[in-house]
Amino acid sequence: MKMKTLKMHTGFTLLEVMIALVIFSIGLLGLAGLQSAGIRNNQISYARTIAQQLAYDMSDRIRNNPSVNYSGVTGASANCNTASCNSTTMAALDVFEWNAAITAAGGPLKNAAGFIAATATGFTISIGWDENSVGGGVATACNPPAPAGFVCVSVQIAP
């Protein structure tokens, strides 16, 4: 008598390999999308942190020079390393340096501008910028709604 031998097929077929590759590719595309979203959100967080830091920098400058109404000061470059620097000149230098830091080339705040408004108890310090970098122009106000496409960070202080 002859015995029939059964061959066991082992391993993967080409179709199973192709299906596995498609599933693996879809998973990798999902991971790439997550990484892209993570990087974008990290940049947004970085810009907001810098804006907050710059707003607090100006609040410290105002507290160090309380005799001047900073809401009406226009920034001008001055040399306050000499004894001839008075409160008004110091305020102008503060605003000049603050605006230079806000609009620094290559910084995270695109099309940014800073605003200082007097309130009944002190000042509101605001920085507005184009978070998506799609709009043109520069922030013109942050009182309280930001212009379309712009984001504002505001700090209230009482010197």
Asked whether residue 102 is domain-assigned, the answer is yes
Task: For residue 4, tell me if it sits in a domain.
Answer: no
Q: What is the pLDDT of residue 11?
A: 67
The answer to whether residue 2 sits within a structural domain is no
Would you say residue 80 lies in a domain?
Answer: yes
Residue 117 resides in a domain: yes
Q: Is 8 a member of any domain?
A: no
* pLDDT at residue 85 is higher than 70: yes
The answer to whether residue 28 scores a pLDDT higher than 70 is yes
Total domain count for the chain? 1
Confidence band of 81 (pLDDT split at 50, 70, 90):
low
- With the CA atoms of 139, 143, 149 and 152 taken in that order, what torsion angle do they form, in degrees rounded to the nearest 10? 80
Beta carbons of 96 and 88 less than 8 angstroms apart:
no
Q: pLDDT: is 141 or 29 the higher one?
A: 29
Helix (H, G, I), strand (E, B) or coil at 76: coil
Domain for residue 88, yes or no? yes
Contacts of 39 (CB under 8 A, 6+ apart): none
Supply angle C-alpha 55, 58, 63, rounded to 5: 125
With respect to residue 5, please indicate whether it lies within any of the assigned structural domains: no
Q: Which domain range does residue 93 map to?
A: 17-157
**Best-predicted range by mean pLDDT (25-29, 87-91, 135-139):** 25-29
